[in-house]
Chains A and B, each alone.
Chain A
Amino acid sequence: MEINSLRLLLAFFAGIFLTSSGSLSQNTTQNSLASPSTLGFDAMAVFAVLVSHGLLTLFNLNIELTHFSFLIFNACFLLTFLCLKGISLKSAQLDMKIIILIGLGFNLFIGAIFSVVQFLFIATNTKFPTGLWFGSFKFYQAIELLPFICVFLLLIIFLYKNLSSLRLISIGIPFAKGVGVEVAKTQRRSLFVAYYLTGVVICYFGVFSFISLVFPHILRLLPFIKSDMRKEFTIGALIGGLIMMLLDFLVYNFDFYGAELPVGMISSVLGSFMLISLLGRNYFKSLQK
């Protein structure tokens, strides 16, 4: 068996980022079924990749798609910032219903046009990033560590300054407001960090479905984490990173008829089953109550 340290390190970061972005999305929106996908962050990253690919093809530019996508994604940050600022004007908390509606709508829109754009590119015999929907660490580069380290530092700084507020918000937004937490400010910061955590992974390695949605729930089932938000964001994120590393290690060393399965494909299949079982478990628990 082979161990590719750099690739595993990138997978580790990706696991940390996706797990943390899921925890942040759920805590900030006070909705356990929230994820960067429902908030439209996945769609924004995919949009950035599509636009980058289009521009690179149109102008025949010799720039790496991954780096250019992340650049476009950063440009889209301004648009997202203005939307969130507009939604929270004169309010001590963000209107999460509007944010989720916009996010879901944008998600569906991007999903729809992706197929159309893919068809057009293939019909015109133009290269297209078909592997985008099933993320993989196959085509990694050492230089990609740099943006990952920057986003990791962003996460560390954010948690250092805001973990206390996040814990109080996790009790409930009215309670957090009552004890003086600047709820809207914390929510905006959380969403921006979740935006970048998701975006950097998708721009460089593609979409890994269900990880951000399901991993936080799995972490909360673990007896040494349970309802401790501090442990969810620290130990939990590290566990997410380790699981991603393990998945990548397995696909790298065990191919399927000579082909390497994308980690994103495995996460889609496993994640969907886990989600159904979690929902079923919660349903039966509520019946017992």
Chain B
Amino acid sequence: MVSIQQKNFFTVNSTSVDLNFTLHQAKLNILMGRNGIGKSTFFNRLKESKILDFSVAFMDQFPLCPISEYQVQDLFQIILEECNGVISQKEVELRYDLKIDDLLLKNINYLSGGEQQRVKLFCTLMLNREAVFLDEPFQYLDVESVMVFKNIFKNLIKENKTVLIIEHDKSLIEEFDSHFIHMREERDKIEVINGD
């Protein structure tokens, strides 16, 4: 279990955000909050900050839109060559049962929403970090892909990795042993705190 506490971590619309929450390794950590409160901005700030003393792989909401005509396999090649401690495509497929062969030769700019999510998750898994933070990972996914993603999260938790997701739909996560974190407004500030 990791405790994260920081006053005035960043500001959203001139309101300061204080952190006082814990992350569990054996559970699925879920960050919830109303639309527009700054959950995605919080993730972005976490990327830039040095507040976390463990390595994190982020999967955000932004689509992959390289200016060059990258195929998916080019993307994986860059990650393999430029990032440290990564695992290969084959290893990701074996460990997490996430198939990507059908997308390897596709141009990234022409992927559908669901295909982008699969590629982004694959990149996140290749990075092989101690924690995985995902911003609305189930968006654009069909029913089958949702099941695949859920199994991957279960495998990540079994591997003792810290998994944190932003999710609004509780029905998608009811089968998990979850720990809820709330981002909510309190008087003149926003707090990120442990919830029920």
A-side residues, CB < 8 A to B, are 26-27, 30-32, 92, 164, 167-168, 170-172, 174-175, 177-179, 220, 226-229, 232, 289
Contacts and interface: CB of A to CB of B under 8 A. Distances in A.
Given A167-B82, A179-B83, A227 B57 contact: no
B108 to A, nearest CB: 9
A227 B76 CA distance: 13
A136 B23 CA distance: 63
Interface in B66-108: 66-71, 74-75, 78-79, 81-83
A172 B66 contact: yes
Given A174-B60, A177-B48, A227-B74, A168 B82 contact: yes
B123 interface: yes
A171 B70 contact: yes
B66 A177 contact: no
Contacts of B110: 289
A178 B47 contact: yes
Contacts of B79: 179
Interface of B: 44, 47-48, 57-60, 62, 64-71, 74-75, 78-79, 81-83, 110, 123, 127
A235 to B, nearest CB: 15
A171 B47 contact: no
A92 B68 CA distance: 23
A227 B70 contact: yes
Contact of A170 (B57, B67, B81, B83): B67
B66 A227 contact: yes
Contacts of A289: 110
A170 B71 CA distance: 13
A178 B69 contact: no
A164 B82 contact: yes
Contacts of A172: 62, 64-66
Given A177-B44, A177-B48, A178-B47, A170 B68 contact: yes
B64 A171 contact: yes
A171 B78 contact: yes
A229 B82 CA distance: 12
Nearest to B107: A289
Nearest to B127: A179
Given A178-B57, A227-B70, 10 more contacts: A30-B65, A164-B82, A168-B82, A170-B67, A172-B64, A172-B66, A178-B58, A227-B66, A227-B69, A289-B110
A23 to B, nearest CB: 10
Contacts of B67: 26-27, 30-32, 170
Contacts of B58: 174, 177-178
A220 B109 CA distance: 15
Nearest to A232: B68
| 3 closest cross-chain pairs (CB), A and B | A178-B58, A227-B68, A92-B48
A175 B123 contact: yes
Contacts of B66: 170-172, 227
Contacts of A220: 68-69
A289 B112 CA distance: 11
A92 to B, nearest CB: 4
Contact of A227 (B47, B71, B83): B71
Contacts of B83: 168, 179
